Amino acid sequence: MTEYEAEIRERGELTIPKELRVRYNLAAKTVVKLVPRVEGIMVRPKVKDPVADLRGLARDVWPCDVSSVELVRSIRRRVDFEAKERL
């Protein structure tokens, strides 16, 4: 993995290297989030539409032939059954 260096200027500004801006689609005027982490600061593009960003997230784990209502009912039945067994 390539490491990059950047200098923080007097007003707290820093330039993200072009290669990273291109790779992560950070165009001029892109709003980013700065997320504090134990290992440092994570820079993430701010999502314009958070709901649209979640769309398709469960595609690989959600059964395509089952409605969400039926899936929740199934989970509730299983939880109720497990709870009764513990009593």
pLDDT single digits (tens) 12-44: 999 999 999 999 889 998 899 999 999 999 998
pLDDT at 2 over 90: no
In a domain, 6, yes or no: no
Q: Is 41 left (phi over 0), alpha (psi -120 to 50) or beta?
A: beta
For the chain, the average pLDDT equals 84
In a domain, 57, yes or no: yes
In a domain, 64, yes or no: yes
In a domain, 69, yes or no: yes
In a domain, 1, yes or no: no
Task: Work out how many domains the chain is built from and give that number.
Answer: 1
pLDDT at 22: 93
Sign of the alpha-carbon dihedral angle for 49, 50, 51, 53: positive
38 alpha-carbon distance from chain centroid: 18
In a domain, 70, yes or no: yes
Sign of the alpha-carbon dihedral angle for 58, 59, 61, 62: positive
Residue numbers of the domain that contains 56:
51-86
Rounded mean pLDDT, 53-69: 73
In a domain, 39, yes or no: no
Residues 6+ apart with CB under 8 A from 44: 32, 33, 35
Confidence of residue 63 (pLDDT cuts 50, 70, 90): low
